[in-house]
Amino acid sequence: MIKEQIIDILNDVDDDITKYEGDNLIDDGIIDSFTIVSIISEIKERLDIVIPADSIKEIHFRTIDSIVEFVSSFMWRL
């Protein structure tokens, strides 16, 4: 369920993210720091999950699965 919600958010931020088939969204220029801010903002708005700024690391945004895992780690706090 959370994965589908994250994919919907990523599609709305930039559908190139979900079309990407490589190994690293950042290294391949699919997302940058501004995109990460947009993703975090949408997650907060739609899922009502607050992600502290000091938790946001590049490693969490390399793949869709790593984004889902990262966001899921904050779900218990709801």
Answer yes or no: is pLDDT of 70 > 60.
yes
Domains, the chain, with CATH or none? 2-77 (1.10.1200.10)
Q: Report the distance separating Cα 30 and Cα 39, nearest Å.
A: 13
The pTM score is 0.91
Q: Are 63 and 25 in contact (CB under 8 A)?
A: yes
Q: How confident is the model at residue 75 (pLDDT cuts 50, 70, 90)?
A: confident
Give the pLDDT confidence of 1-54 residue by residue, as tens digits: 899 999 999 999 999 999 999 999 999 999 999 999 999 999 999 999 999 999
Q: Would you tell me the crossing angle of helices 64-72 and 33-47 to the nearest 10 degrees?
A: 40
